[in-house]
Structure 1
Amino acid sequence: MRRILVLGGTGFVGRAFVAAWRNAEGGAGATLVVPSRRPARAKALSMFSDVDLVAADVHDPATLARLLAGCDAVVNLVAVLHGDAQRFEQVHVELPRRLLAACAAAGVRRVVHVSALGVADDPAETVPSLYLASKTRGERLFRAAAEAGSIDLSVLRPSVIFGREDRFMNLFAALQAVVPVMALAGASARFQPVWVDDVARALVACLRDPAGTVGQTYEATGPDVLTLAQLVRRAGRWSGRRRPILPLPEWAGRLQAGALGLLPGEPLMSADNLASMRLPNVATGRHPGLAALGLHPARLADVMAPHLSRSPGVLDRLRRLAGR
C-alpha cells in the first residue's frame, strides 16, 4: 500500500497507529493521510515526511472524496464516548454512510473499522445505551457494504483502551490525589482493558495481511478481566494515592452522572456511559482475539504501574488530561 487515509489519526489510538505503522517492517514508503480540523494540535505528526497532516472536516462529503483520491485503504477510528443521540448518530452512523459513498466513488475497497465490544451481532439483539446502539448501526453499514461486495472489510472491537496518554487510568489516578473518597458509579462493571499499542499493532496486521483478515471481526482485549472498582484501586495504588471506594447504587450513580453532565467540558461520566456498563465489556468468544493476529496483549500492570508511579504531580496530570 502506498497511501492510507486514517480518520481519527490525531486521537489517542490514531497516534499509536501512526507510530506502529511507521515502525513496522515495510511501513516505510507508504504515506498516511491524517485529516484534522485542528492540525495545530497534532504538530508532532507533521514532523514525519510520510505523514500528510491535512486541515479538513471529514464530515463533509466533498472533503472525504478529495481525501480518498489516490488512496489504497482507509482506517476509521472516529468515535465519541459522550453526547446526545444526534451527536452519536452523526459520528457513528452518518460518517460511515458518507465514507462508504466516498469509497465507492473513489474506488477504495480496503476498509479497517474500529468498532466496540458490546456491538450486537444479531439484528434482534438490543443494546443498553445510545453509544452502543449507534456503534451497532454504524458497523452494520460497513457489513452490508462488505456483503454486497463493495468493500473488503476488517473490524476490531476493543474493550476499554489504556496507555500512557489515556483519559482512563490517568484520570482515576489524578482524582484520587484530590478527593478523600472515590464515590463510584458502576463499581461492579467488568472490563478487559487492552493496551493502545496492541490495538495499533492489530490495525497494522489487518492492513498488511488482507488475505487473512478480510471478512474477520477481532475482539481486541487484554489478558485481565477487572471490575471498575478494581481498576480504580490499581490506579490509586500505582500512583501512591489510593483512596477508599464508595460504590454507588444505580439511582445514585444516575444522579452523579447528571450532576457531572452539567459541568463545562467533557463529562467524567454520563448516564449513557452507565447504561453501557450494564453490558460486560469483555470478550464474548464469538470472534477471534488478538492472538489470531499473532499478538500477545500486554497486561495492564506491566504498562501502567511503572507509568503512574513516575508520572507528574496531580496538577500537571490534571492539566494534561484537560489538554492544557
Structure 2
Amino acid sequence: MKNILVIGGTGFVGRALLAELTRDVVYASRRNCSWGDGLFITVPTRHRERAKALTVLPTVKIIEADVHDPVTLAQLMSGQDAVINLVGVLHSAEGVPYGADFARAHVELPQKIATAARAAGVRRVLQVSALKASPNAPSAYLRSKAAGEAVVQAAGGEWTIFRPSVIFGEGDAFLTRFARLAKVVPFFPLASAHARFQPIWVKDVAATIAESLQRAESIGQIYELGGPQQYTLTELVRYASVTAGHPRQVWPLPEWLAWLQARVMEWLPNPPLTRDNLRSMQVDSVCAANTGLPFQRIATPLEAVAPHYLG
C-alpha cells in the first residue's frame, strides 16, 4: 500500500485522513517501522485553489479533476494500490428511491470507482458509508448509502466499508453549527429532539481507516464506528451551547411542527434541516451492542475534544 488515491480528500474527514497518513510518513522511522516509507497520496478535487492548504503535506499530490468522469477516473486509478472514497452529501432534492444528488454522489460514483478500480487492478477499495445505512431505511440518504455499499461489494476485490455515526471535530457541521446558533437565538425549537447518536471523533475515524490499510483482516468487513457514549439530540444541542458559553433551552417540537419546520428550511441555501434529515433521525444512529472501534482502538470521549474548539 504505497500509492493511495483519496477521493473526497479535501473534505472534513478527508483532511483528517490525510493528516493521519502523512503523520505516519513523518514518524515512521521513529516508530521503527516501514509504514509510510515511499507513500504517495493522490487527491483529486474540482477546485485546486481551494485545496492549497493541503499541498504542504508531504507526499500529497493535489490534482484538479472531475472524478465523475469515467475516463478521468481510469487515469487516476493507474498505478494505485488502494482507493478510499469519502464523498458524501447531506442534502438532495426529493426523489424515489433517492434524489438525484444522493444518487450521483452515493450510488453512481461508488459504482464508477469500483469499476475503474477493478479494471486498473487496484487492490483495496475503502468506502465510507453511514451508520444504519439500509435499503429499507426510512430516508433517501440512508438508502442511497446502502446502495453505494452494495455496488462496491458486488464489484468484488478487497473492499472494506465504514459506517460512522455523526462525526465531530474542529470544523464539523454538527456541534459547531449549534454552538454558532446559540450566539444569536434565544432558544432552540428542536425537531426529533429524542433521536439518539453515538458521536465519533474525526481523528478516530481517520486513524481507523488508515490502520485498515495495514490490516488484512479488515478485507471484506463492514465496521460500525461510534464513540464511547450515546446522546439524544437534545443533550448534544444543550452541550454545544453550554460549552460555547451561550447556554440555551431546548424546546422539543411536536411532529407536525417539526415537518413544517423542515419544509420551510429546505428553501434555505445549505439547509440546517430537511424532511429527509427527519426521516434519517427516525432510526437511532447508534452502534449495535454499543460497538465502538475495531483493531482494539479506544474511542475518544466527546467531552475530551469538543471544549477545545466549541469554546
Name the TM-score, length of structure 1 as normaliser: 0.89
**Ranges of 4+ aligned residues in structure 1 off by more than 4 Å:** none
**Aligned residue for 1:116?**
130
**Aligned residue for 2:283?**
279
Asked if 1:51 is matched to 2:57, the reply is: no
**Aligned residue for 1:145?**
155
Asked if 1:188 is matched to 2:202, the reply is: no
Residues in 2 aligned to 1:104 and 1:255: alpha-carbon distance in whole angstroms: 45
Name the amino acid aligned to 1:44: A
**Aligned residue for 2:142?**
132
Residues in 1 aligned to 2:231 and 2:201: alpha-carbon distance in whole angstroms: 14
Residues in 1 aligned to 2:19 and 2:233: alpha-carbon distance in whole angstroms: 29
Residues in 2 aligned to 1:58 and 1:21: alpha-carbon distance in whole angstroms: 21
**Aligned residue for 1:293?**
295
- How many Å apart are 1:258 and its aligned residue? 1.3
Residues in 2 aligned to 1:185 and 1:38: alpha-carbon distance in whole angstroms: 35
**Aligned residue for 2:5?**
5
Name the amino acid aligned to 2:154: A
Q: State the Cα deviation string for residues 109-163 of structure 1 (Å, max 9, x = none).
A: 311111110112xxxx6110000111111101112223xxxx1011110000000
Q: Let me know the Cα RMSD of the aligned residues.
A: 1.3
- How many Å apart are 1:28 and its aligned residue? 4.2
**Aligned residue for 1:243?**
248
**Aligned residue for 1:314?**
none
Q: SS where residue 293 of structure 1 aligns?
A: coil
- In 1, are the aligned partners of 2:118 and 2:155 still within 8 Å (CA)? no
Q: State the Cα deviation string for residues 32-85 of structure 1 (Å, max 9, x = none).
A: 100000121111111224001000111110110011011000001001111121
Q: SS where residue 131 of structure 1 aligns?
A: helix
List aligned pairs for 1:1-324, cutoff 5 A. 1-24=1-24, 25=28, 26-84=35-93, 85-120=99-134, 126-146=136-156, 151-209=157-215, 211-263=216-268, 265-285=269-289, 289-290=292-293, 292-309=294-311
- In 1, are the aligned partners of 2:19 and 2:57 still within 8 Å (CA)? no
Q: Which 5+ residue runs of structure 1 have no aligned equivalent?
A: 310-324
- In 2, are the aligned partners of 1:182 and 1:246 still within 8 Å (CA)? yes
- In 2, are the aligned partners of 1:190 and 1:282 still within 8 Å (CA)? yes
- In 2, are the aligned partners of 1:22 and 1:28 still within 8 Å (CA)? no
Residues in 2 aligned to 1:215 and 1:177: alpha-carbon distance in whole angstroms: 45
Q: State the Cα deviation string for residues 173-208 of structure 1 (Å, max 9, x = none).
A: 000110011111111000000000000000011111
Name the TM-score, length of structure 2 as normaliser: 0.93
Name the amino acid aligned to 1:102: A
Residues in 2 aligned to 1:219 and 1:17: alpha-carbon distance in whole angstroms: 17
Residues in 1 aligned to 2:263 and 2:43: alpha-carbon distance in whole angstroms: 35
Name the amino acid aligned to 1:144: A
Q: SS where residue 155 of structure 2 aligns?
A: helix
- In 1, are the aligned partners of 2:8 and 2:87 still within 8 Å (CA)? yes
Name the amino acid aligned to 2:309: H
Residues in 2 aligned to 1:262 and 1:161: alpha-carbon distance in whole angstroms: 25
- In 2, are the aligned partners of 1:218 and 1:289 still within 8 Å (CA)? no
- How many Å apart are 1:257 and its aligned residue? 1.1
Residues in 2 aligned to 1:139 and 1:250: alpha-carbon distance in whole angstroms: 31
- In 1, are the aligned partners of 2:22 and 2:58 still within 8 Å (CA)? no
- How many Å apart are 1:23 and its aligned residue? 1.2
Residues in 1 aligned to 2:196 and 2:57: alpha-carbon distance in whole angstroms: 39
Name the amino acid aligned to 1:98: K
Q: Which 5+ residue runs of structure 2 have no aligned equivalent?
A: 29-34, 94-98
Q: 1:219 to 1:163 in 2, by over 3 A?
A: same
Q: SS where residue 188 of structure 1 aligns?
A: coil
Q: SS where residue 208 of structure 1 aligns?
A: coil
Name the amino acid aligned to 2:254: P
- In 2, are the aligned partners of 1:110 and 1:152 still within 8 Å (CA)? yes
- How many Å apart are 1:259 and its aligned residue? 1.1
